[in-house]
Amino acid sequence: MRFTVTYRLFAGSSDQAGQRAADIALEQTVEIPRDVVPKGYVEDVILGKVESVKLEAEGRYTAIISYSADSVGGELPQLLNVMFGNTSIQTGVKMMDFQLGPQLQAQFPGPSFGIKGLRERLHRPTGPLIAPVLKPQGSSADTLAEIAYRCVLGGADVIKDDHGLTNQSMAPFKERCEKITAAVARANRETGGHAAYFPNVAGHSEQLMEFARFASDVGAGGLLLMPGLFGFDLVRRLAADKKINLPLMTHPSFLGPYVLSPETGFSHAMMFGALQRLAGADISVFPNVGGRFGFSEEECQSIATACRDPQGLGRTMFPSPGGGMSVERAGDMHRMYGEDVVYLLGGSLLRYGSRIGEGIRDMRAELAKQIV
Amino acid sequence: MRFTVTYRLFAGSSDQAGQRAADIALEQTVEIPRDVVPKGYVEDVILGKVESVKLEAEGRYTAIISYSADSVGGELPQLLNVMFGNTSIQTGVKMMDFQLGPQLQAQFPGPSFGIKGLRERLHRPTGPLIAPVLKPQGSSADTLAEIAYRCVLGGADVIKDDHGLTNQSMAPFKERCEKITAAVARANRETGGHAAYFPNVAGHSEQLMEFARFASDVGAGGLLLMPGLFGFDLVRRLAADKKINLPLMTHPSFLGPYVLSPETGFSHAMMFGALQRLAGADISVFPNVGGRFGFSEEECQSIATACRDPQGLGRTMFPSPGGGMSVERAGDMHRMYGEDVVYLLGGSLLRYGSRIGEGIRDMRAELAKQIV
């Protein structure tokens, strides 16, 4: 069984693009000169095959290369390694898409909950989800728990840690997790709601599974993960863990360089959509257009499409644009993202001070107006 | 205690550069607007401080920002998160350097063996080290072991797995590790040498520590790791493991986009020198000038300098240029890298066929001629 990867190549002619594609097929598999590739299994099966090279626009080509599932074995890191390991170090090539085929798809089922599963857990069958972020780093667990409590009273669906809250002494993971989970539960009892707290699972890599189990045991509603710092396989591993059994939200920290150059790395849709979904994330956070980062409306749209594409791998997942959201922009955002979206509300919410719940309430009311 | 990070900023004026630096100081710590940063500890200690912004060249500035060790806690992923997590998603900023200061330096000691320790283990007190790569993917463990055996007879110092050999059924990790270690030991007995095999520790993330222990138990001489796929903390964790106690070689797979854009990501010296050293690698592999990748001579030199800088963090480590090496280029390479270097010899060595040992011998002889 073979799977395919689609690359965008920047080349001066179709001959050059064809040569480039053949070089990638070698580089990503046998990594030896073509003339010494052993006959038989290695040449016939393992060596990547250029399936097609087509002109996309002047100087730009689309190449599809197929690889054997044997090259991957059973593991996500090796799947990524075959797709783009060494080729990531070359310019003039961007990874745009992949199709796993039935064999690998059975090994990589994607999100465990997805949009539908998460909506059920949160009892929010329709409309955008609202997710305030607990900040700033340096606050005590009690302070953060108090903010979380007020946000849930205000109607938040998801309360997430700032990605900069890890295991520092000001608010160590377990203390923070316990206190905030308790605060969210208390607010849920008062409102009759089902808001979920997503603590940021971060520390030494050897602590992460223990932290995730702890979060599950004390009643967290999901987990925030940083694949750029801990590897995509952490997401896969936690998505597959039916004992921990929590929805996963991924954060883009340390992943920027993969998308910022037009002629290297991944498309935005691949990095913040398809790859997150492949790993098993239920919600993918990315920097929203109009915030402090430079993603364009088109790039943000492409991410949302990849997250929600019914033809994509496994269950559809939530795109989660971070930054750039305000009551004033709610209409524009709704036209852009529609209903299946998780809006992160960041630092500007702190301007409400102890009335932070009102910020959530205002946003909810404004978004409700958009749905006719 | 504070540590500093040096960024290169691309800005139109010194005012813009100053604003940019202040924005980074916020982004990397509290991640909230400046006007809502809480007074006291958060503002005084946690908030990043712009220490200096200097003009480097037209449109280019050097900014030094200090952060509190409290922001990091004790973990490497969070250190990287503070240094460059969200800022990695912005353009016009490149991370160029860091200075940990005594507190964090005690937590991050760097390489366990370094150049001196590795030379002692390999009984190669002077001269460049030669490291053939076992390939191609798709070969059986027996075939790879036979190649390893011949390479050691030919005088190789380090035998490394191709980074595409993980845990596939053609040569599963444990079988490969056992057979190649045995083949290297047999050859060492015949030559009286001390060549070391570095298996590629890759599979599901939850298998890696078991694989590393297995490698240590059967007598592997080191470990190959891919921080781009598994996270830098795997390197730190294995460097700190005194029971496994093996030298570590890191491979650049999946790390390319961090260096390929001039105005984002890291400098080459940071990514393939300083960060690898910080994590605890003893040998850092990077694509050599003149091979299949586009690194310039200057970029390769800067990596080698960062690996071997006596003022760098902890022990000095080996730069390991891969590709582009041949008997014909030995003189040029020697003038470029000097003695403290590990030369990877890749696929072209397979052209020697069963006389692959001669390829190693020829290279050794040629390199010996360079040392007067």
Please report the pLDDT score of residue B241 as a whole number: 98
pLDDT tens for residues A170-212?
Answer: 999 999 999 999 999 999 999 999 999 999 999 999 999 999 9
Say how far apart CA A79 and CA A100 lie, in whole Å. Answer: 10
Say how far apart CA B369 and CA B215 lie, in whole Å. Answer: 36
Q: List Cβ neighbours of A84 (8 Å cut-off, separation of 6 or more).
A: A5, A28, A95, A266, B254
Please report the pLDDT score of residue B23 as a whole number: 97
Residues of B in contact with A139 (CB under 8 A): 38, 42
| Residue percentage of chain B with pLDDT more than 90 | 94
Domain boundary among B68, B92, B107: B107
Give the DSSP H/E element, type plus range, for residue A159.
strand A158-161
| Sign of the CA dihedral running B136, B141, B147, B153 | positive
B50 neighbors A365 (Cβ within 8 angstroms): no
The confidence band for A92, taking pLDDT boundaries of 50, 70 and 90, is very high
Task: Tell whether A170 and A268 lie within a shared domain.
Answer: yes
Say how far apart CA B180 and CA B133 lie, in whole Å. Answer: 12
What is the residue-averaged pLDDT of chain A?
A: 96
Residue found by looking up tokens 């992949």 in the block: A98
Whichever domain contains B43, its CATH number is 3.30.70.150
Residue B199 scores a pLDDT above 90: yes
Q: Hey, of B86, B95, B268, B299, which one would you mutate to test binding to chain A, going by the most A CBs within 10 A of its CB? A: B86
The confidence band for B12, taking pLDDT boundaries of 50, 70 and 90, is very high
Task: Tell whether B231 and B179 lie within a shared domain.
Answer: yes
Please report the pLDDT score of residue B40 as a whole number: 97
| Sign of the CA dihedral running A24, A29, A35, A39 | negative
Q: When comparing pLDDT for A47 and B372, which is higher?
A: A47
- Output Rg (C-alpha) for chain A, integer angstroms: 22
| Residue percentage of chain A with pLDDT more than 90 | 94
Q: List Cβ neighbours of B43 (8 Å cut-off, separation of 6 or more).
A: B37
Q: Environment class of residue A369 by beta-carbon count within 10 Å: exposed (0-12), middle (13-18) or buried (19+)?
A: exposed
Q: List Cβ neighbours of A39 (8 Å cut-off, separation of 6 or more).
A: none
Please report the pLDDT score of residue B59 as a whole number: 97
Q: Average of pLDDT values for A62-87? A: 97
The confidence band for B68, taking pLDDT boundaries of 50, 70 and 90, is very high
A to B CB pairs, distance under 8 Å: 308
Domain boundary among A107, A122, A142: A107
Residue B231 scores a pLDDT above 80: yes
Please report the pLDDT score of residue A371 as a whole number: 78
Please report the pLDDT score of residue B130 as a whole number: 97
Residue A74 scores a pLDDT above 80: yes
The confidence band for A291, taking pLDDT boundaries of 50, 70 and 90, is confident
Q: What is the 3-state secondary structure (H, E, C) of A279-329?
A: HCCCEEEEECCCCCCCCCHHHHHHHHHHHHCCCCCCCCCEEEEECCCCCCC
Is there a contact between A75 and B167 if contact means CB atoms under 8 Å apart?
yes
Please report the pLDDT score of residue B2 as a whole number: 97
pLDDT tens for residues A353-369?
Answer: 999 999 999 999 999 99
How many domains would you assign to chain A?
2
Token readout for B23 is 């924005």
Please report the pLDDT score of residue A281 as a whole number: 98
Is there a contact between B81 and A31 if contact means CB atoms under 8 Å apart?
no
The confidence band for B198, taking pLDDT boundaries of 50, 70 and 90, is very high
Task: Tell whether B35 and B161 lie within a shared domain.
Answer: no
| Residue percentage of chain A with pLDDT more than 70 | 100
Task: Tell whether A80 and A169 lie within a shared domain.
Answer: no
Is there a contact between A136 and B170 if contact means CB atoms under 8 Å apart?
no
Task: Tell whether B184 and B323 lie within a shared domain.
Answer: yes
Residue A289 scores a pLDDT above 80: yes
Task: Tell whether A121 and A100 lie within a shared domain.
Answer: no
The minimum CA-CA distance between B120 and chain A, rounded to whole Å, is: 30
Whichever domain contains A329, its CATH number is 3.20.20.110
Q: Which chain A residue's Cα is nearest to B287?
A: A89
Nearest-CB residue to B81 (from A77, A205, A253):
A253
Q: Average of pLDDT values for A98-124? A: 96
Residues of B in contact with A19 (CB under 8 A): none
B88 neighbors B265 (Cβ within 8 angstroms): yes
Task: Tell whether A87 and A119 lie within a shared domain.
Answer: no
The confidence band for B348, taking pLDDT boundaries of 50, 70 and 90, is confident
Say how far apart CA B23 and CA A54 lie, in whole Å. Answer: 43
Please report the pLDDT score of residue B346 as a whole number: 86
The minimum CA-CA distance between B95 and chain A, rounded to whole Å, is: 12
Task: Tell whether A123 and A93 lie within a shared domain.
Answer: no
Task: Tell whether B71 and B133 lie within a shared domain.
Answer: no
Contacts for A205-210 with beta carbons within 8 Å, 24 or more apart?
Answer: A205/A230, A205/B77, A205/B231, A205/B233, A205/B234, A205/B237, A206/B209, A206/B237, A207/A167, A207/A173, A208/A234, A209/A237, A209/B206
Is there a contact between A30 and B234 if contact means CB atoms under 8 Å apart?
no
Residue B315 scores a pLDDT above 80: yes
Say how far apart CA B212 and CA B201 lie, in whole Å. Answer: 7
Q: Average of pLDDT values for B325-335? A: 91
Residue A324 scores a pLDDT above 80: no
Please report the pLDDT score of residue A4 as a whole number: 98
Task: Pick the closest to residue A223 from A170, A174, A150, A281 (CA basis).
Answer: A281
Task: Tell whether A96 and A156 lie within a shared domain.
Answer: no
Q: Average of pLDDT values for A104-115? A: 97
Task: Tell whether B49 and B120 lie within a shared domain.
Answer: no
Q: Hey, of A41, A81, A275, which one would you mutate to test binding to chain B, going by the most B CBs within 10 A of its CB? A: A81
The minimum CA-CA distance between A120 and chain B, rounded to whole Å, is: 30
Token readout for B267 is 């400098």
Residue found by looking up tokens 């602590």 in the block: A207
Residue A91 scores a pLDDT above 90: yes
Please report the pLDDT score of residue B41 as a whole number: 98
Say how far apart CA B289 and CA B324 lie, in whole Å. Answer: 7
Task: Tell whether B223 and B297 lie within a shared domain.
Answer: yes
Please report the pLDDT score of residue B347 as a whole number: 82
What is the residue-averaged pLDDT of chain B?
A: 96
Q: List Cβ neighbours of B222 (8 Å cut-off, separation of 6 or more).
A: B158, B196, B197, B198, B246, B247, B248, B249, B282, B283
Nearest-CB residue to B137 (from A29, A74, A234):
A29
Q: Hey, of B31, B84, B90, B325, which one would you mutate to test binding to chain A, going by the most A CBs within 10 A of its CB? A: B31
Range of the domain at B318: 114-370
Angle at CA of residue A83, ends A77 and A85, nearest 5°: 65
Is there a contact between A237 and B206 if contact means CB atoms under 8 Å apart?
yes
Domain boundary among B91, B107, B123: B107
Please report the pLDDT score of residue A292 as a whole number: 85
